[in-house]
A and B are shown apart, each in its own frame.
Chain A
Amino acid sequence: MQPAASIAGAPSVALIPRASLRWRSRLEAAAMPIMAVLVAMVLFGSFCASQGRNPLAVFGAINKAAFGSWYSFQNTLIRAAPLMLTALCTALPARLGLVVIGNEGALVIGGLTATAAGLAVQSAPVLVVLTAMALAGMVGGGLWITFVGILYYKRGVNETISSLLLNYVAIAFLNHLVNGPMRDPSSLNKPSSYPIPDDKMLPAIGESNIHYGLVFGMVVCLIAWVLMEHTSFGFKVRMIGGNIRAARMAGLPVAAIGLIICFLAGAAAGLAGMIEVAAVHGRANESLAAGYGYAGILVAFVARHRGLAIMLVSVMLGGILASGGILQRQFQLPDATILVFQGLVFITILFSDSLYGKLKFFKEEAA
């Protein structure tokens, strides 16, 4: 049936082809993080200068240590793999309007459950062991962040605070298990769980040093991108994140979708924990809490919570993390100096968020 009258007066619109539209806001989305990183580089450069080091030489060294050779680039990619996954732990809930920073905790729990599962089935074929570990890691991490979601949707507990505090709970839990029930008595200096047998570990890709975790990371980021941008589920998530009143009016089950997203977010970080165990450490110990979770928060914000951008930013940050040692060796700056850079990038990115829509150049002409 047709309504009797369309609204009188106005003529129908001429539709403008899509490509010419909104280039300014597209440019804005790309230019803002880049400008923020440049500002952070200037600030870090002045910090280096204040320490009597030549900033250009420092950046040159970072670049070389991160991307200078195939060997160093492999190092970078190895670090990028868990970052891609932990970043999703912040990025997915962010699309719903939740600020979840429980990445480190979900990674640790995922690593623990993966280790437990791997040890339980260690005599099975390698594919079975790895599948069991991946599933256990994802379920462990997923439930961990789902708990944050339940606290939020059922009790109104702030999700940022609860997820942050749960990080400490997770790390304490890890320490308890590797010092107690899960402890391998032969691990003396660094209390650890029993090891996953070497032949059941996640292998490297071909001749390189890079393990298959990188493939996991990239595939999961791709899936996240498709989910958010090209499925009706992602559409619902964007509706809720954009205006919860409109989403409720459209009859969406807000809490149920929120919990699913929390589970997926935790599952991604849990998978990162599984990769760290299955490809790098071979066992669960305090090395799991190496800061990939916290760095993932940074990646998510720099990438503006978009799946494809997360891959790129993870490689960039992986490079920065990989170059930590060079600052000490070459410039006698402490290892932690690289964290200063990381922190500066985070602050400038957060600041640039407040400038969206305020710079004249990026304003679209009125509709």
Chain B
Amino acid sequence: MIIPAPIRPEKPFDLELVNLTKRFGSFVANDSVSMKIPAGSFHALIGENGAGKSTLVKCIMGFHTADEGDILIQKHSREIKSPYDAYQLGIGMVYQHFTLIPAMTVAENLVLSRPDIPPVIKWKHENERLREFMRHAPFQVDLDTPASQLAAGEKQKVEILKQLYLESKFLILDEPTSVLTPSEADEVLGLIRQKVKGGELSVLIITHKFREVFGFCDRVTVLRRGKFTGGGEVKDFTADDLATLMMGSARRPGAVAKIPRERGSAALEIKNLCANKDSGVPALSDATLTVHEGEIVGIAGVSGNGQRELVEVLAGQRAPTSGEIVVHQENYRARRSEASRHKVFLLPEEPLRNACVPQMSVAENIAFRNFDGPPMTRARIFLSRKAIRKFAQDLIARFSVKTRSPDTPIGDLSGGNVQRAVLARELGPGTARVLITANPCFGLDFAAVDSIHAQIVEARNRGVAVLLVSEDLDELLALADRLFVISHGTLVHETTPAEADIKTIGHHMAGH
């Protein structure tokens, strides 16, 4: 029996996910996840990056359709095919990034968000409605201020007000406090909590911060690698329990045995390095560390804590604001001549975005490190396509890059094969002395992960100094010789995998 969906419900409702599975190709983003969110509860969804939190809520919002499993609302299965369906069911979401139009006032932004916006807006009428709405709103923002003049905290309030104005009864918040100061975060979440307690709203919040889970939430669900690993009433858990559920306690053995070796001389030294985000906000402060020859130094942390900026500075994609990088006792500014003299190679995250030119061919992309020297360039000027192709053909075969030909644009390849092509370029010639790598296995299947790990450990065994930045603690514990934890742009903790205590690491990562 099909019961028609309630259109625009007037009170919060029970929402339940039953064995929800979502695959992208062979990658399972959500593996049979179940979750129950009773009406009027404040529910936390936590997990590491890539654990499948965003995919899960996108299924609820209708951006994705689940491959298997059901979404139940008041015990009835509902199909949510688009965000508009979600809106009709009273489900709204506040995104990590602001969606306000900067040049418009708060009032205009609110009215604009309505799907049923009339062709001619009667502003007098709308303004009255807005004022009436604001009388009951949890927080007050001046309606006539342009969004561009609002502070981050106020913008986030407007984003939430927008959902309340749309009369969403089930609110999904995707890391709503990542752009807020702790006191702003407490204020916003506290006021939302009052609404929840008042029986006007259910909330599902994605967060990394245990403080928010324990301070505001009733219930919690933990995901790890797409699977449900634990959950229930928040009061039944301690922070350490949650850390263990998030990170997993079983350690996967390294794919290649590490040869015990004496620490070599310092190859890469980072001294008091500071860098800003694109917006000019400091992202990395006073990072100091040394990587020796034949050593893998890991950097653990939740994404957005300055790792990306650190790697960008090392890759020459971002200018540091202060501090210095020293490679083999020489000042290093990531210039082409320096990188080739010191044999500094990189495996960045998102290789298509960071390390490839999508419309250039696979062969040309593989030649990025050495196209300007012989044999690929003759007489220091003329490029030999033949030599470029020949160089690539060998590496394509050795690294099993699946491509129709070396002349195919690299943008046409699948993610794993792009990664292999970059790996072939950076590690293929076997000349690296310093290797900087960030989330090298993100989004790859297990076989590919193991072989990339094997390559990294093998490089270390032959004396390469490796800096490994990763959000996957298992990877770090398996590969690294030493380990730093980064939080809010600062290296806050140093340990070794042998001594590492996963709960302590979790605490540092979560910013405790």
Contacts and interface: CB of A to CB of B under 8 A. Distances in A.
Interface of A: 1-13, 15-16, 18, 21-22, 230-236, 238-239, 242-243, 245-253, 364, 366-367
Nearest to B353: A245
A9 B354 contact: no
Contact of B428 (A3, A230, A234, A366): A3
In the complex, which of the residues A7, A16, A239 has the most CB atoms of chain B within 10 Å of its own CB atom?
A: A7
Contacts of B458: 3-5
A9 B400 contact: yes
B315 to A, nearest CB: 5
A239 B412 contact: no
Nearest to A22: B407
A244 to B, nearest CB: 9
B368 interface: yes
A248 B315 contact: yes
24 contacts: A3-B398, A4-B455, A5-B454, A7-B420, A7-B452, A12-B400, A13-B397, A230-B383, A231-B382, A231-B383, A232-B371, A232-B381, A238-B357, A239-B357, A242-B358, A246-B355, A246-B357, A248-B315, A249-B317, A249-B355, A251-B316, A251-B340, A253-B335, A367-B402
A249 B348 contact: yes
A251 B382 contact: no
Interface string B402-426: 1111111000110000001001000
B339 interface: yes
B440 to A, nearest CB: 13
B372 interface: yes
Interface string B225-237: 0000000000000
A10 B400 contact: yes
A232 B372 contact: yes
A1 to B, nearest CB: 4
B261 interface: no
B339 A251 contact: yes
A249 B344 CA distance: 11
Given A3-B455, A232-B383, A243-B358, A249 B315 contact: yes
B426 to A, nearest CB: 10
Contacts of B431: 1
Nearest to A240: B357
A11 B396 CA distance: 11
B403 A234 contact: no
A251 B407 contact: no
A243 B407 contact: no
B354 A245 contact: yes
B6 to A, nearest CB: 40
Contacts of B407: 18, 21-22
Interface of B: 256, 315-317, 334-340, 346, 348, 353-360, 364, 368-369, 371-372, 376-377, 380-383, 393, 396-408, 412-413, 420, 423, 427-428, 430-431, 447-448, 450-452, 454-455, 458-459, 462
B171 to A, nearest CB: 36
A13 B396 contact: yes
| Those 3 A-B pairs whose CB atoms lie nearest each other, nearest first | A251-B336, A242-B357, A10-B400
B372 A235 contact: yes
Contacts of B369: 250
A246 B393 CA distance: 21
B360 A231 contact: no
B397 to A, nearest CB: 4
B376 to A, nearest CB: 8
B357 A243 contact: yes
B402 A7 contact: no
Contact of A6 (B380, B398, B408): B398
A230 B382 CA distance: 6
Given A232-B377, A235-B364, A239-B368, A8 B354 contact: no
Nearest to B367: A235
B400 A7 contact: yes
Contact of A249 (B354, B359, B413): B354
A367 B403 CA distance: 6
Contact of B462 (A1, A250, A253): A1
Contacts of B397: 12-13
Contacts of B360: 238-239, 242
B316 A367 contact: no
B454 A11 contact: no
B405 A250 contact: no
Given A11-B400, A234-B383, A238-B360, A248 B317 contact: yes
Contacts of B399: 6-7
A250 B354 CA distance: 10
Nearest to A233: B381
Contacts of A249: 315-317, 346, 348, 354-355
Given A242-B358, A251-B335, A9 B447 contact: yes
Contacts of B462: 1
A191 B455 CA distance: 73
A245 B396 CA distance: 23
Contacts of B358: 242-243
Given A231-B383, A242-B360, A253-B336, A13 B317 contact: no
Nearest to B338: A251
A98 B377 CA distance: 26
A367 B336 contact: no
Contacts of B400: 6-7, 9-12
A83 to B, nearest CB: 27
B412 A364 contact: yes
A16 B382 contact: no
Nearest to B362: A367
Given A8-B450, A232-B382, 17 more contacts: A1-B430, A7-B452, A11-B400, A13-B401, A15-B406, A22-B408, A231-B382, A232-B372, A232-B376, A232-B380, A235-B383, A238-B360, A242-B357, A242-B359, A246-B354, A249-B355, A367-B403
Contacts of B256: 4
Given A3-B428, A230-B382, A242-B357, A235 B371 contact: yes
A190 B346 CA distance: 63
A243 B447 contact: no
Contacts of A18: 405, 407
B401 to A, nearest CB: 7
B447 A8 contact: yes
Contacts of B381: 231-233
Nearest to A248: B317
Nearest to B339: A251
A246 B382 contact: no
B388 to A, nearest CB: 9
